[in-house]
Amino acid sequence: MMQTEKLELTQEWDKTFPQDTRVDHEKVTFVNRYGVTLAADLYKPKGVQGKLPALAVSGPFGAVKEQASGLYAQEMATRGFLAIAFDPSFTGESGGQPRRVASPGINTEDFCAAVDYLSCRDDVDPERIGIIGICGFGGMAINAAALDPRIKATAAMTMYDMSRVTREGYFGSSDNKEARDEQRRAWAAQRTADYKAGEYTRAGGVVDPLPDDAPQFVRDYHDYYKTSRGYHDRSGNSTDGWNATGTMSFMNQPLLAMASEIDTPVLLVHGEKAHSRYFSEGAFAQLRGDNKELMIIPGANHVDLYDNRKAIPFDKLEAFFDNSFR
């Protein structure tokens, strides 16, 4: 029997979006292949019998399930899907130590573990399981789709390729050995300092207050994570961020290396005005087959696809998964 951690799960509704009375909600847990117990919110359409199509949702990178992923999961449940929004390993209400550390391998596994859980539910059709990854977890979702054939369809919303941005900086601004060596030295020094101190230094969440010269995309992040619109006290982006060494393994591990071998349908959705749009365009260029699509939302920025219902193409998502599961 797989061992699970005992988690402290909040039972009251503490999401950044209102509860939909058309949907049943409960907290669930499942364990991944690394032994980390993950916490999730499960959303199921009320009064529906039989085996349902199912979706696992996670992201954005540094967020929690009470934010954008939960909004997506609940909305998809109103459209007939059983959907879970989960906190990745080491974050939110999920287990694992140390806290606030990310890993391309473990976070990809988190999606596969969600598929384990969904596949074994009596009310889920295991041949109709898909995943939705938001922001940095869009890249993780694509990696999971390249690894796990049980994932029948994948949507990546306003995706980041966390390997690429860690390795190259934004827009390739530090895409050279000298810059990467400088970053490696900084991580190495931080590791030594953390071990000596016996605790991990946090890198800080979204900057607050905003400096006068903050780029527009940083202002957009602030508008979501640092205001009542999207603030949550378990979210690293809303509070004190990842560990300072929390993302170092992305430097040497390219997430999308096997993206060209994904046979199942993939939908990439990005805002026209998003600073991160080039990540989806780069990922789309690596995909193969006529069941891959890149959808650009006119006028939308990166965080519009977190919670702006006028920008998020839920009708398209519903049709994409319905058609993919046929």
What CATH number is attached to the domain comprising 76?
Answer: 3.40.50.1820
| Predicted local confidence at residue 4, as pLDDT | 82
Please return the burial class of 107, using the count of CB atoms within 10 Å of its CB with bins 0-12, 13-18 and 19+: buried
| Region at 38 (left for phi over 0; alpha for psi -120 to 50; beta for the rest) | beta
Give the tens place of pLDDT for each residue, 1-22: 677 899 999 999 999 999 999 9
Examine residue 131 and state whether it is found in any structural domain, yes or no.
yes
| Predicted local confidence at residue 123, as pLDDT | 98
User: What's the whole-number mean pLDDT along residues 113-121?
Assistant: 98
User: Encoding tokens for residue 273?
Assistant: 């005005």
Examine residue 107 and state whether it is found in any structural domain, yes or no.
yes
| Predicted local confidence at residue 1, as pLDDT | 64
* Sign of the alpha-carbon torsion through 105, 266, 280, 58: negative
Query: What is the rounded CA–CA span in Å between residue 127 and residue 36?
Result: 25
User: What's the whole-number mean pLDDT along residues 54-71?
Assistant: 98
Q: With 70 as the cut, is the pLDDT of residue 30 above it?
A: yes
Percent of the chain scored above 70 by pLDDT?
A: 100
Secondary structure in 3-state letters for the chain: CCCCCCCCCCCCCCCCCCCCCCEEEEEEEEECCCCCEEEEEEEEECCCCCCEEEEEEECCCCCCCCCHHHHHHHHHHHCCCEEEEECCCCCCCCCCCCCCCCCHHHHHHHHHHHHHHHHCCCCEEEEEEEEEEECHHHHHHHHHHHHCCCCCEEEEECCCCHHHHHHHCHHHCCCCHHHHHHHHHHHHHHHHHHHHHCCCCECCCCCCCCCCCCCHHHHHHHHHHCCCCCCCCCCCCCCCCCECCCCHHHHHCCCCCCHHHCCCCEEEEEECCCCCHHHHHHHHHHCCCCCEEEEEECCCCCCHHHHCCCCCCHHHHHHHHHHHCC
User: What's the whole-number mean pLDDT along residues 201-225?
Assistant: 97
Q: With 70 as the cut, is the pLDDT of residue 89 above it?
A: yes
Give the tens place of pLDDT for each residue, 226-261: 999 999 999 999 999 999 999 999 999 999 999 999
Q: With 90 as the cut, is the pLDDT of residue 142 above it?
A: yes
Examine residue 312 and state whether it is found in any structural domain, yes or no.
yes
pLDDT category of residue 71 using cuts at 50, 70 and 90: very high
User: What's the whole-number mean pLDDT along residues 254-272?
Assistant: 98
Q: Burial code of 255-281, b = ≥16 C-beta within 10 A, e = fewer?
A: bbeebeebebbbbbbbbebbbbbebbe
Examine residue 6 and state whether it is found in any structural domain, yes or no.
no
Please give the backbone phi and psi of residue 279, each rounded to the nearest 5 degrees, phi first: -65, -45
Into how many domains does the chain fold? 1
Range of the domain at 258: 23-171+247-324
Examine residue 4 and state whether it is found in any structural domain, yes or no.
no
Q: What integer best gives the mean pLDDT of the chain?
A: 97
Examine residue 78 and state whether it is found in any structural domain, yes or no.
yes
Q: pTM higher than 0.75, yes or no?
A: yes
Examine residue 156 and state whether it is found in any structural domain, yes or no.
yes
Examine residue 189 and state whether it is found in any structural domain, yes or no.
no
Q: With 80 as the cut, is the pLDDT of residue 183 above it?
A: yes
- Chain centroid to CA 293: how far? 19
